[in-house]
Structure 1
Amino acid sequence: MKPIFRVSLCLLAAVLLPFSVGQYQSMKAHQMLFSEAPQQQVNLTPAPPLDPDKPTVVVILGDDVSEVSDVLGPYQVFAASGKYNVVTAAPERRPVALTGGLDLLPHYALSELDQKLHHPPAVVVVPNIPFIRDQENAPLVSWLKKQGKHPDTVIMSICSGADTLALTGLLDGKKATGHWSDRSRLEKQFPQVHWTWDARYVDAGQQVTSAGVLSGIDASLHVLKRLAGPETAHQTAQKMNYAQSTHLTNPQMQPFDIALSDSIFLLNASYLWDRKTYQLPLKKGMDEIELAALVDTFPATFSAELLTTAPVKGPIQSRYGLDLLPRATSEQSELEVLKLTGTGFPFDDTLSQLALTQNVPTAVFGAKRLEYRAGTQHFEGRGWWTPAVYRPLYLALLGVVLVLVVEWGMRMLRKRKVSF
Structure 2
Amino acid sequence: MKKLVVRLAVYVLIFAVFVGGVGYLGFVRSDNDFFKNVRHEPVPSLHGVKPPKYDPNKPTVAVLLANVDTEVFDFMIPYDLLSRTNAFNVFAVAPDKNVKTLSGGLDVVPHYSYKELDKLLGKSPDIIVVPYMPIYDEKKYQPTREWIQQHSSSKTTILSICSGSENLADAGLLKGKSATTHWQGISLLSKQYPDTHWKEDVRYVHEGNILTSAGQTAGIDAVLYLIAQKLGEPMSKKISNEISYPSYHFVQNPKVEPIQKDIYFVTFLLNLSFKWNKTKAGVLLYNDMDEIALSSIFDTYAATGTTKVLTVSNSDAPIATKNHLNIVARHQISNAPRLDKMIIPGGNAKSLAAADVKLWSEKGNAKETLLIHSDSPNRYAFEEPLEDLAKQEDLLTAKHAVKRFEYRANGIHLEGKPFPLETYDNVLLIGLLALLVTFFIVQLKKASHGPADHNSN
So what's the TM-score if we normalise by structure 2? 0.84
Q: Measure the CA separation in 2 of the matches of 1:132 and 1:56.
A: 29
Alpha-carbon displacement from aligned partner over 1:285-340 (angstroms, at most 9, x marks no partner): 11111111101111101010011011211310111111011011111113220241
Match of 1:337 among 333, 342, 349: 342
Q: Measure the CA separation in 2 of the matches of 1:249 and 1:14.
A: 52
Q: Secondary structure at the match of 2:101?
A: strand
Deviation at 1:146, TM superposition (A): 2.1
Deviation at 1:239, TM superposition (A): 0.8
Match of 1:17 in 2: 18
Q: Measure the CA separation in 2 of the matches of 1:174 and 1:275.
A: 42
Q: Measure the CA separation in 1 of the matches of 2:74 and 2:34.
A: 15
Give, as a single letter, the amino acid of the residue that structure 1 aligns with 2:342. Answer: V
Give, as a single letter, the amino acid of the residue that structure 2 aligns with 1:367. Answer: V
Q: Measure the CA separation in 2 of the matches of 1:317 and 1:306.
A: 20
Question: In terms of mean alpha carbon deviation, does 289-298 or 160-169 score higher?
Answer: 160-169
Taking a change above 3 Å as real, the CA distance of residues 404 and 205 of structure 1, as seen in their structure-2 partners, is closer
Of all paired residues, the percent bearing the same amino acid is 31
CA contact (8 A) 1:70 1:214 kept: no
Taking a change above 3 Å as real, the CA distance of residues 290 and 385 of structure 1, as seen in their structure-2 partners, is closer
Match of 1:157 in 2: 160
Q: Measure the CA separation in 1 of the matches of 2:148 and 2:420.
A: 47
Alpha-carbon displacement from aligned partner over 1:7-55 (angstroms, at most 9, x marks no partner): 6676455433322221111111111112223363342412222111211
Match of 2:454 in 1: none
Taking a change above 3 Å as real, the CA distance of residues 136 and 405 of structure 1, as seen in their structure-2 partners, is closer
Match of 1:382 among 417, 423, 439: 417
Q: Measure the CA separation in 2 of the matches of 1:409 and 1:145.
A: 60
Match of 1:27 in 2: 28
Alpha-carbon displacement from aligned partner over 1:51-92 (angstroms, at most 9, x marks no partner): 112111110111111000000111111011111111110001
Q: Measure the CA separation in 2 of the matches of 1:280 and 1:222.
A: 31
Taking a change above 3 Å as real, the CA distance of residues 9 and 188 of structure 1, as seen in their structure-2 partners, is closer
Give, as a single letter, the amino acid of the residue that structure 1 aligns with 2:272. Answer: A
Q: Measure the CA separation in 2 of the matches of 1:370 and 1:192.
A: 27
Match of 1:418 in 2: none
Q: Secondary structure at the match of 1:203?
A: strand
What does residue range 271-350 of structure 1 map to in structure 2 within 5 Å? 271-333=274-336, 334-335=338-339, 336-339=341-344, 340-341=372-373, 342-343=375-376, 344-350=379-385
Match of 1:93 among 97, 116, 120: 97
Q: Secondary structure at the match of 2:63?
A: strand
Q: Does 1:259 align with 2:294?
A: no
Match of 2:151 among 137, 147, 150: 147
Deviation at 1:99, TM superposition (A): 0.5
CA contact (8 A) 1:200 1:253 kept: yes
Q: Measure the CA separation in 2 of the matches of 1:177 and 1:5.
A: 46
Q: Which has the higher contact order (CA 8 A, sep 6+)?
A: 1
Q: Measure the CA separation in 2 of the matches of 1:252 and 1:5.
A: 52
Taking a change above 3 Å as real, the CA distance of residues 126 and 8 of structure 1, as seen in their structure-2 partners, is closer
Give, as a single letter, the amino acid of the residue that structure 2 aligns with 1:382. Answer: K
Taking a change above 3 Å as real, the CA distance of residues 277 and 338 of structure 1, as seen in their structure-2 partners, is same
Q: Measure the CA separation in 2 of the matches of 1:403 and 1:194.
A: 47
CA contact (8 A) 2:163 2:185 kept: yes
Q: Measure the CA separation in 1 of the matches of 2:211 and 2:82.
A: 15
Q: Measure the CA separation in 2 of the matches of 1:305 and 1:18.
A: 24
Match of 1:396 in 2: 431
Q: Secondary structure at the match of 2:42?
A: coil
Q: Secondary structure at the match of 1:155?
A: strand
Deviation at 1:366, TM superposition (A): 0.8
CA contact (8 A) 1:14 1:397 kept: no
Give, as a single letter, the amino acid of the residue that structure 2 aligns with 1:263. Answer: V
Match of 1:179 among 174, 179, 182: 182
Alpha-carbon displacement from aligned partner over 1:349-400 (angstroms, at most 9, x marks no partner): 1111111110111111111112222238732211125111121112212332
Q: Measure the CA separation in 2 of the matches of 1:96 and 1:153.
A: 25
Q: Measure the CA separation in 2 of the matches of 1:165 and 1:321.
A: 27
Q: Does 1:212 align with 2:219?
A: no
Q: Does 1:196 align with 2:199?
A: yes
Q: Measure the CA separation in 2 of the matches of 1:408 and 1:113.
A: 68
Listed as ranges, the gaps of 5+ residues in structure 1 are 416-420
Give, as a single letter, the amino acid of the residue that structure 2 aligns with 1:159. Answer: C
Give, as a single letter, the amino acid of the residue that structure 2 aligns with 1:103. Answer: D
Q: Secondary structure at the match of 2:211?
A: strand
Q: Secondary structure at the match of 2:281?
A: strand
Taking a change above 3 Å as real, the CA distance of residues 6 and 146 of structure 1, as seen in their structure-2 partners, is closer
Q: Measure the CA separation in 2 of the matches of 1:118 and 1:402.
A: 66
Deviation at 1:404, TM superposition (A): 4.3
Alpha-carbon displacement from aligned partner over 1:264-300 (angstroms, at most 9, x marks no partner): 1111111111111111111001111111110111110
Match of 1:36 among 35, 38, 46: 38
Aligned Cα root-mean-square deviation (Å): 2.4
So what's the TM-score if we normalise by structure 1? 0.92
Q: Measure the CA separation in 1 of the matches of 2:282 and 2:24.
A: 27
CA contact (8 A) 2:264 2:397 kept: no
CA contact (8 A) 1:66 1:127 kept: yes
Q: Does 1:81 align with 2:59?
A: no
Alignment length (residue pairs): 413
Q: Secondary structure at the match of 1:298?
A: helix
Give, as a single letter, the amino acid of the residue that structure 2 aligns with 1:322. Answer: L
Q: Measure the CA separation in 1 of the matches of 2:15 and 2:193.
A: 40
CA contact (8 A) 1:132 1:138 kept: no
Question: In terms of mean alpha carbon deviation, does 403-412 or 232-241 score higher?
Answer: 403-412
Q: Measure the CA separation in 1 of the matches of 2:134 and 2:302.
A: 16
